Amino acid sequence: MLLKYIKALFNYAGHRAWIALGMMLLLGLTQGIGLVMIIPFLHVIGIASSNGVNGYAEKFIEIMEFIGAEPTMFFVICTYLLIISLHAFGTKFKDILTTQIVRGFTQYLEDRLYSLFSNMNWLCFLRTRDSDIIHVLTADIARVAFATQQVFQLIVSAILVTIHILFSFSISVPMTLSALACGTVFLLVLRPFNKHAAHFGLSLRNARNNLYALVTEHIGGMKISKSYNLEAQHKKNFYATTETITRQMIQFTKINSATRMCYQIGAASAIAVFILIGVEWIHMPAVNLMVIVFLFSRILPGFSNLQQCFQRIINSMPSFMAVLNMEERFKAGAETEEERLRGDDDEADTHDHAHDIHAHGHEDINSHNGYVFLINSRTFTLEKELRFDSVSFRYDKNRTDWTLNNINFLIPANATTAIAGHSGAGKSSVADLILGLLAPDKGQISIDGKILSDKLLQRWRQRVGYVPQETFLFHESIRDNLMKAQPDASTAQLWEVLESASAR
């Protein structure tokens, strides 16, 4: 999953990812040059002799003499400041670029998932919990964004550690090998923590998903909850879930903290041993020892940073897996391209349709058990009837029993038709089939002899008004809600609709 995630990230970022990596490498090299400048600086101010710095001071002086510059303390300081300034400007550019990549990749996942969500069919929607969709689109993608930041930080840390190691090799091969051995031992010893981080990441993701489900269901069933005095049960479930989330977050923090603590203690012990060996056994020059201790103080914590970044990334991978799984669910339940696109002959009358819906009373009204369909008679002519011919349907395709089995009936035009029956008889399913939200498993639905196929479906939906049993309004003004059906409606038309609905 981690490799799939990194591949998806770099496929999205393209050349920008390589530019960012190049900037990271350049900045690492610049930082390394800044470290190298310490040695000539110490030589110029007289702290170090030319014989004790492995020739760095001599080479620096030779370069200065070649370009005609005098290697004074002022010149060395100015050179050092110039390098640091360039490094700072480069860091700013790199930070902006990585932020663009991180946020762009996050937006790409959000937009792609939401597009698939918008295009899924009604049956897929019924089988998916609202809270699962909301959680993936918000919390899970936010964790993926955090993982993206950690990926770049991991790469930066790896580059800097590599540069420090290479520079350390030029000073002392045995001491550098010892530092690498210590870092490798730390990685191997603390490797089991990675599995725990992945485990707690999955547990934390599931607990947060349950929290979303509890809140969403409580809001949706608030009236029932109040009428049956279920507040105490809802609070009990909510408290238990938040307790689980807190426990999982503390456990993961313990893992990260334990990793950091082990590296800090181990690095301090290793540096102390290096100093002892360098002074007592190898008799390393003081300047070299000071520089290599400084390098080790960065190399060994660098291993710690690599380990912690990796743990944070794999802790977030369950969210990336949830995003991919939800995408696959939406793709499997997507409406066909013909269902989503209008027919070629529909484009010309789109504007006319906007003037016809809910205007001047030119509609025929057909109602079905709480569903009301306003069928425009001018842009989509229903002259005779809407017919069900041997229609069968079932929600679970693996079951043998049918929700509707071999249904035959017709709804005449210019008439009011009511469908009555006991709860669970299939009235809502019939209404959803008429709307085109569901498709028959057997048989066919026709409008004046035209089969309600994929090509006709989008046009049919645009010509049918739907009023559910329970009123739903978007969290916008009344005007905005009305204009969703007719975007260019005039104020007079809106007032006419309100009067017709006795809502004025």
Encode 167-191 in three state secondary structure.
Answer: HHHHHCHHHHHHHHHHHHHHHHHCC
DSSP string for residues in 426-459: SHHHHHHHHHTSS--SEEEEEETTEE--HHHHHH
Answer yes or no: are the C-beta atoms of 101 and 17 closer than 8 Å.
yes
Distance from first CA to last CA of the chain, Å, rounded?
57
Alpha carbon distance 81, 194 (integer Å): 41
Q: Which of 377, 358, 365 is nearest to 493 (CA)?
A: 358
Q: How far is CA 16 from the centre of its chain?
A: 19
- Reduced to 3 states (helix: H, G, I; strand: E, B; else coil), residue 373 is strand
If we measure between CA atoms, which residue out of 266, 272, 250 comes closest to residue 303? 266
Question: In Å, how far are 289, 367, 441, 500 from 444, measured between CA atoms?
Answer: 86, 21, 9, 35
Sign of the Cα pseudo-torsion (143, 145, 147, 153, in order): negative
Q: CA-to-CA distance for 391 and 388, rounded, in angstroms?
A: 6
The residue ranges of the chain whose pLDDT is under 50 are 48-54, 338-378
| Secondary structure (DSSP) of 44-93 | HTTSS-GGGTTTHHHHHHHHHHHTT----HHHHHHHHHHHHHHHHHHHHH
Quote the CA–CA distance of 146 and 263 in Å, as a whole number: 23
pLDDT of residue 295: 67
Determine the pLDDT at residue 473. Answer: 73
Which letter does DSSP use for residue 401 in this model? Answer: S
Query: What pLDDT score was predicted for residue 435?
Result: 85
Both structure tokens of 43: 């030589």
What lies within 8 Å, CB to CB, of 303 at 6+ separation is 161, 183, 186, 187, 263
DSSP 137: I
- Cα torsion angle, 184, 28, 292, 169, sign: positive
CA distance 169 to 32: 13
- What pTM does this model have? 0.67
DSSP H or E stretch at residue 368: strand 363-368
Q: According to the model, what pLDDT value does residue 341 have?
A: 43
Q: List the one residue out of 461, 397, 457 whose CA is nearest residue 127.
A: 397
The CA distance from 450 to 444, in Å, is 10
pLDDT tens per residue, range 203-233:
888 888 888 888 888 888 887 778 778 888 8
Structure tokens that stand for 480 in this block:
């905005």
d(CA 186, CA 73): 41
The Cα 487–Cα 482 span in angstroms is 8
Residue reference for tokens 């004025």: 504
